[in-house]
């Protein structure tokens, strides 16, 4: 069984044809973003007309129920991951374009990914180490 990525609200699957699909809202409007499911890979696809600037804040939404995935935190959005063993994790990721930070969390244990992962550790009760 492959990893399952899903909305924390409606539990709808977000992984389609090898990409995690989320609705995003930025200064230029709304669009769909297709993310690589491998943690630590920050490549994504979007329509050419959906413009994103480095450092820009983006709000993320479930494409099924339209739940704001950013509601609990101003800097991070959340989806869920169920691995091939059946374990479920919270997945938090940066909402700033170009900031590479992702956190996989279960029972208070945090795995951090991305070159900028120290930036948001204080959101989880950990002091960043620079």
User: What does the domain layout of the chain look like in residue ranges?
Assistant: 4-124
Question: DSSP characters for 38-96?
Answer: STT---EE--TTS---TT-B-EEE-TTT--BTTTT-SSEEEEEEE-TTS-EEEEEEE-B
Pick the range with the lowest mean pLDDT from 3-17, 65-79, 115-129: 115-129
pTM: 0.91
* pLDDT for position 127: 54
pLDDT per residue as tens digits for the range 13-46: 999 999 999 999 999 899 999 999 999 999 999 9
């Amino acid at each position: 069984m492959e990893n399952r990525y899903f909305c924390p609200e409606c539990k709808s699957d977000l992984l389609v044809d090898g990409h995690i699909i989320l609705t995003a809202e930025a200064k230029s409007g709304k669009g769909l973003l297709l993310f690589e499911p491998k943690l630590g890979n920050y490549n994504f696809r979007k329509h050419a007309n959906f413009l994103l600037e480095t450092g820009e804040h983006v709000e993320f939404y479930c494409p099924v129920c339209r739940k704001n995935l950013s509601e609990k935190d101003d800097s991070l959005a959340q989806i869920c991951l169920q691995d091939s063993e059946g374990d479920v994790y919270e997945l938090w990721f940066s909402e700033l374009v170009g900031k590479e930070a992702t956190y996989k969390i279960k029972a208070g244990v945090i795995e951090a990914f991305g070159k900028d992962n120290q930036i948001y550790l204080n959101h989880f009760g950990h002091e960043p180490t620079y």
